[in-house]
Structure 1
């Protein structure tokens, strides 16, 4: 069985290794260069702040994870202390606490800085910033004490190609994208007690030592989430269910499905007696209506639980989107990893680097 508990943190399998040396992580990323020990020291630092608030859409959980990882790496590259200002649909502390890096200690401080010492950069839905025409000159253009950044793309490959990264942060140039993504999420986050307690119950009463076989089916706009984006091609649930039929033996396997469709999920429960039935809600967390804040916050908790569940599966089949892809990254191994191929309508074995 895969596992994900170690000193209360989410443990991805990086390069097949389940246990990580935290001191090695600290040395590798050079966290001491961008860390703030005490709140009274905040005024000594420059900052890069990842922003997800009610001013505009932030994307779903997968988009936000990409943005946070990219923003943190930009903070490392520019020697700025890093802050996460994640407010919608509720504060990120509802699902994650700080782990190896404290990203909240100066959150209040950065919001007191005068406007002439701050800069807001909005690069939502942009793969890279000011490319291909030119690369941004961080030293020249990012002079403000506080850079507020709105971002939802994975910029790891872009940063790996920059000269200053190769010269001063060789670990970022040398490590695979998958390893870097998992490493940063591990560095920043550990689940709250609420989520850890959920998984304690999940393993004891549902998995019971059997092999956990999981699938993610994202349908896009459907009656459960009518405001989501419309996909031109949707995954064929019949093909996916036929694949899952290979693991229908209840003595060996338990089956888990994460989906954005209540209909798909209920069909799965009906078809497989060894499926794990949950009461997790199906919602899109990118809701700007503050009247739905409590409902959307529960959706955030449930989305994190579903993604972490996918990350600990012995056999994992994903379909479309960053949610399932990031779960595969956190899982960290190629073994028994599959993806639904939209062009052929078939299920294919995949390596992480091709997700």
Structure 2
């Protein structure tokens, strides 16, 4: 009886302790997440970023979407590049809106609504269509077309060296379609000195570039949709507490991606990455290998080479700007692409092709330059970055 009583007291104490811990966690954080989920990792990432930047930047100024009746809208209705190009344009339009004290919005429905893949986080950039009867004045800036060199140069000059807030003041809504980096020159515009200092706080202006601020700005703007989280979590659940090695194989035009540019120097990319990974594995504890590519053959080659230790996110492979418009799987392909992007930000080792897509994804890693390798097209081999 004594033994049973002691055992019962011990069990009861565990139940009470666990209940107390769960109650406290619910009070402190109403959304209880599993440590391997994308949501949990993103929350931890934001905590790190806020600690990193709180003494440098005026983060509250970045988190505020101005209540002004005037707007700057990043627009993507047709040709506007891949995800890497779009992120460059989105960041540019966002910082221009901050400097001009305008409300920032995103209008992207190509190849399908942006809300399918990402949603507003700290900044509500949801696009609001104003009543046309209000006769709002509009300025449309589209510098996606590379052959418009004079026009592109004119816009760049305005943003770099003119008082663009004053130049554009007569317009209620400014719609911008671009893949250019307007953020870096805008922050260095002499007419923007006061507003720039309000944003940057004690950060040296020389450090304020799109590359250095991308990790923070991306998280302030976006959180992954449930559809994207579900795809990513299916991988993370199997790699928790294991070393995740990621391959991004961008080969260009191929049977899976027939409308893209041809990159003849990349024909050996898949084999080069497999050979390098073989050597890497010999010197490291066995990793889990995640592979994503614009080529179904490349993915198949990696999965077959590492049948017991490789994974991919299942779904149609899609270049989100160069696709067959008759396809019925465009949105599903878009969801897979952004799930791949998020997962590339969770890798301990990254082996990447030359691509804006995976380059921006890599900047979301906790240590972007640690165990980071890329395919050198001139040498046709993998090199450490």
- TM category (shorter chain) comes to 0.7 to 0.9
Show CA shifts across 1:172-213 (max 9, x none).
734353331121111111011222233333222x31421000
Show CA shifts across 1:238-257 (max 9, x none).
22111111344797311111
Matched, 1:130 2:155: yes
2:181 to 150, 154, 164: 154
How many angstroms apart in 2 are the aligned matches of 1:291 and 1:284?
14
1:110/1:46 CA distance change after superposition, 3 Å: farther
Which has the larger Rg?
A: 2
1:290/1:263 CA distance change after superposition, 3 Å: closer
Q: Greater helix share, 1 or 2?
A: 2
Asked if 2 retains the 8 angstrom alpha-carbon contact of 1:220 and 1:228, the reply is yes
Matched, 1:70 2:96: no
Matched, 1:35 2:66: yes
1:57 to 63, 72, 79: 79
1:228/1:11 CA distance change after superposition, 3 Å: farther
More deviation, 164-173/74-83: 164-173
Matched, 1:244 2:266: no
Matched, 1:82 2:104: yes
More deviation, 183-192/27-36: 27-36
Asked if 2 retains the 8 angstrom alpha-carbon contact of 1:179 and 1:332, the reply is no
Show CA shifts across 1:41-100 (max 9, x none).
xxx5110011111xx301111111111111101111111100110111111111111100
What is the deviation of 1:345? 2.1
- State the partner residue of 2:167: 141
Asked if 2 retains the 8 angstrom alpha-carbon contact of 1:8 and 1:190, the reply is no
DSSP 3-state at the match of 2:213:
helix
- State the partner residue of 1:20: 50
2:370 to 327, 331, 335: 335
- State the partner residue of 2:294: 260
How many angstroms apart in 1 are the aligned matches of 2:179 and 2:371?
29
2:243 to 205, 211, 223: 211
Asked if 1 retains the 8 angstrom alpha-carbon contact of 2:76 and 2:177, the reply is yes
TM-score normalised by L of structure 1? 0.83
Which sections of structure 1, spanning at least 5 residues, go unmatched? 37-43, 351-355
More deviation, 264-273/154-163: 154-163
DSSP 3-state at the match of 2:236:
helix
TM-score normalised by L of structure 2? 0.77
DSSP 3-state at the match of 1:97:
strand
Matched, 1:120 2:140: yes
- State the partner residue of 2:314: 279
How many angstroms apart in 2 are the aligned matches of 1:311 and 1:322?
13
How many angstroms apart in 2 are the aligned matches of 1:164 and 1:332?
35
In the TM superposition, structure 1's runs of 4+ consecutive aligned residues that sit over 6 Å from their partners are none
- State the partner residue of 2:216: 183
Which sections of structure 2, spanning at least 5 residues, go unmatched? 1-34, 147-151
